[in-house]
């Protein structure tokens, strides 16, 4: 579960988020949609404890992370996955090495981890690429590796920043099938996008941001 109460964030004199209040239940699939510069990525970074808000309160899995120390934040992020818009892969490492790193960080037992790796490689059609260096992959393949790394540890919360921007329609459909399956198993999924076609795949819970303000929320999940 994720709760934000009157959250604001500034960079210098520039207001990036202004008085955002939001509740995302366990197992929910929530889409944050808005134009470039609306504050979507910043909101995900706050949820991921990558940055801290200037005002307001943030609760992640019933833990108040608003004023958490830097040393305590890795333990919170350990139970979360993040699909980065710019991938952030270790380009000299293989696909398999990039994915296994997430299991190491999460402390996933070896047997379970091996099963999880096989499952996500198959779901994202990466089995034949697992020994290839990330630098040798296309942009779409790199994005799928980034997704695999984020989901392989079965995180409690999955945050996704434009996760399908480099994918074709077939791969996009496969990714959303994967996300729906995770949501059904209890993972809270929060996706940020400026693509209206992607947003339309989230008919139940959609939040619209514009210039740092939450201008609309549509939620039929019973919140």
Out of 43-47, 55-59, 95-99, 204-208, least confident range: 204-208
- According to DSSP, the residues that pair with 81 across neighbouring strands are 158
Note down the domain range covering 182.
26-39+75-219
Question: Rounded to 5 degrees, what angle do the CA atoms 38, 152, 186 make?
Answer: 70
Summarize the confidence of residues 19-42 as an average pLDDT: 96
pLDDT band (50, 70, 90) for residue 223: very low
Cα gap 137→145, rounded to integer Å: 9
For residue 42, pLDDT beyond 80: yes
Q: What is the per-residue pLDDT for 30?
A: 96
Q: What is the pLDDT of residue 221?
A: 65
Residue 170 lies in a domain: yes
CA distance 170 to 187: 23
Average pLDDT, the chain: 94
> What is the per-residue pLDDT for 110?
81
pLDDT digits (tens, 9 = 90+) for 117-166: 999 999 999 999 999 999 999 999 999 999 999 999 999 999 999 999 99
- Within a domain: residue 118? yes
- The three-state secondary structure class of 46 is helix
Query: Which of 67, 22, 24 has its CA nearest to residue 49?
Result: 67
Please give the average per-residue pLDDT across 16-39, as a whole number: 96
Q: Among 161, 160, 142, 162, which Cα is nearest to 151's?
A: 160
Considering the domain boundaries, does residue 5 fall inside one? no
Residue 61 lies in a domain: no
What is the maximal distance between C-alpha atoms in the chain? 50
Strand 55-60 and strand 205-210: pairing? unpaired
pTM value surpassing 0.85: yes
The predicted pLDDT at position 222 comes to 52
How many structural domains comprise the chain?
1
Mapping DSSP to helix (H, G, I), strand (E, B) and coil, where does residue 149 land? helix
In a domain, 44, yes or no: no
pLDDT of the residue at 107: 87
Q: Which residue has the tokens 């779901």?
A: 123
The reply to whether 164 falls in a domain is yes
- 């699909």: which residue's tokens? 83
Percent of the chain beyond pLDDT 70? Answer: 99
Give the CATH number, domain containing residue 30: 3.40.50.300
- Flag whether 58 is in a domain: no
203 Cα distance to chain centroid: 18
For residue 58, pLDDT over 50 is answered with: yes
Least confident segment among 88-102, 105-119, 168-182, 186-200? 105-119
Q: Residue 214 domain-assigned?
A: yes
């Amino acid at each position: 579960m994720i709760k934000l109460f009157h959250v604001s964030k500034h960079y210098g004199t520039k207001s990036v988020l202004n008085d955002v209040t939001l509740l995302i239940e366990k197992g929910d699939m929530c889409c944050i949609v808005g134009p470039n510069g609306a504050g979507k990525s910043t909101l995900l970074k706050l949820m991921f404890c990558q940055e801290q808000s200037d005002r307001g309160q943030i609760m992640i899995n019933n833990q108040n992370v608003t004023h958490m120390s830097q040393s305590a934040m890795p333990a919170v992020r350990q139970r979360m996955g993040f699909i980065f818009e710019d991938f952030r892969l270790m380009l000299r490492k293989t696909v398999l090495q990039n994915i296994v790193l997430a299991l190491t960080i999460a402390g996933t037992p070896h047997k379970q981890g091996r099963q999880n790796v096989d499952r996500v490689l198959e779901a994202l059609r990466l089995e034949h690429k697992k020994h290839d260096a990330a630098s040798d992959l296309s942009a779409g393949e790199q994005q799928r590796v980034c997704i695999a790394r984020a989901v392989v540890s079965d995180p409690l919360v999955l945050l996704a920043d434009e996760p399908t921007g480099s994918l074709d329609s077939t791969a996009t459909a496969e990714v959303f099938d994967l996300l729906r399956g995770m949501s059904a198993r209890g993972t809270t999924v929060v996706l940020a996008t400026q693509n209206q076609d992607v947003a339309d795949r989230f008919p139940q819970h959609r939040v619209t941001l514009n210039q740092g303000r939450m201008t609309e929320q549509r939620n039929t999940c019973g919140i």
